Amino acid sequence: MSPTYTRTGDDGSTGLLGEGRLPKYHPRIETLGALDEASAALGLARALSHSQQTIAILKEIQRDLYALMAEVAATPENASRFRTLDRPRLEWLESQADTLETQVPPPNEFILPGDSLPGAAFSLARTIVRRAERRVAELTSRGEVANEVILPYLNRLSSLCFLLELYENQAAGQETSLAKK
């Protein structure tokens, strides 16, 4: 047997961090998929970024997302064992957004994605983070996620992605296109 597959999911279920398995279509597994997609999209944005500052921020965020995924993947009795996302991490993320906002003030209108390759990658990442946020909100409302920092973290992360889109457009020498003519 190859070490890259286990065959345990061939029945349409997947394991949790703790006892038990869930169907792959379960909202918790959908949430994990959305968080994984968000991290992958941020990885693409990181690979395309011009700024070393952006790259460093994104590596930190991707590490936070992996920790967050572990907490969401844990059974309720194990979740606290995997809880690392806390108020100081949220404050760190907010400080990154605050710093960027002084460098690239957001426009007063909607923008069109695609003014630079890294900017477009951040726009895509932002939408995926928003989906992950909606999935976590569902689990939170059902009492399946207890960490009160996760939703604000994802909310701030989507805002940071927007600011990074503007920042990377600026770094590429591109003016951000507005949705209105």
* Domain-located, residue 102: yes
Domain residues for the domain of 65 are 24-171
pLDDT per position as a tens digit, 142-178? 999 989 999 999 999 999 999 999 999 999 988 888 8
How many structural domains does the chain have? 1
pTM given for the model: 0.91
pLDDT per position as a tens digit, 41-52? 999 999 999 899
Instruction: Identify the CATH number of the domain in which residue 97 sits.
Output: 1.20.1200.10
Name the pLDDT band for 2 (thresholds 50, 70, 90).
Answer: low
Task: Answer whether 103's CB lies under 8 Å from 161's CB.
Answer: no
